[in-house]
């Protein structure tokens, strides 16, 4: 039997729910530790620590807000500005064939973090579904988060 190692998943499994909001806490850390690619005055962009695919990004308002209708016009505009930038960067660096972009609003809709509004940007490639999720409920991520961070980070400098 072959082993699939994903040691970063243990952090997720053992995470303390009282650690606070990742979208509020990660920007306070060193960017590579918090996986924060952009920390602006209105929006934050970070790699998903538990990605569906390589390059899975999240865009969130800096302000801790949970509902779309609570966003200010500036926050809404800036979050979509960052969405456009993220898609452009991912297109250049990872060359996906498409994207899933979305928000899960509330626990009932599948939000893992429902207290801080955020968008997911998931690069997709033709044929990126393989037998692993079907047979063993395992997703194979072909690139380490640090390598993806290092590849994408230069594209967010100076924004």
Residue 18: CB atoms within 10 A of its CB come to: 5
Tokens of 23: 């979208």
The answer to whether domain 20-156 has CATH 1.10.10.10 is: no
- Domain boundary assignment for the chain: 20-156
Strands 98-102 and 57-61: unpaired
Residue found by looking up tokens 């590849």 in the block: 151
Using one digit for the tens of pLDDT, what is the confidence trace for 87-122?
999 999 999 999 999 998 888 888 888 899 999 999
Alpha-carbon torsion (45, 47, 50, 53), positive or negative: positive
Q: Quick one: pLDDT band at residue 158, thresholds 50, 70, 90?
A: confident
Task: Report the catalytic residues.
Answer: 118
Q: First vs last Cα of the chain: how many Å apart?
A: 47
- Containing 56, the helix (H) or strand (E) segment is none
pLDDT digits (tens, 9 = 90+) for 48-84: 998 888 999 999 999 999 999 999 999 999 999 999 9
**pTM value > 0.85:** no
């Amino acid at each position: 039997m072959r082993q699939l190692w994903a040691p970063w998943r243990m952090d997720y499994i053992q995470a303390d729910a009282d650690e606070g909001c990742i979208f509020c806490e990660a920007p306070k850390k060193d960017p590579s530790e918090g996986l924060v690619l952009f920390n602006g005055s209105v929006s934050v962009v970070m790699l998903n620590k538990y990605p569906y695919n390589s390059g899975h990004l999240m865009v969130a308002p800096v302000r801790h807000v949970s509902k779309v209708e609570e966003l200010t016009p500036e926050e809404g505009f800036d979050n979509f500005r960052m969405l456009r930038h993220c898609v452009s960067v991912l297109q250049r660096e990872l060359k996906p064939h498409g994207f899933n972009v979305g928000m899960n609003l509330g626990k009932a809709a599948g939000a893992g973090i429902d207290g801080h509004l955020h968008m997911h940007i998931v690069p997709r490639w033709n044929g990126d579904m393989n037998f692993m999720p079907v047979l063993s409920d395992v997703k194979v991520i072909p690139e380490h988060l640090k390598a993806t961070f290092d590849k994408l980070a230069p594209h967010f400098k100076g924004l």
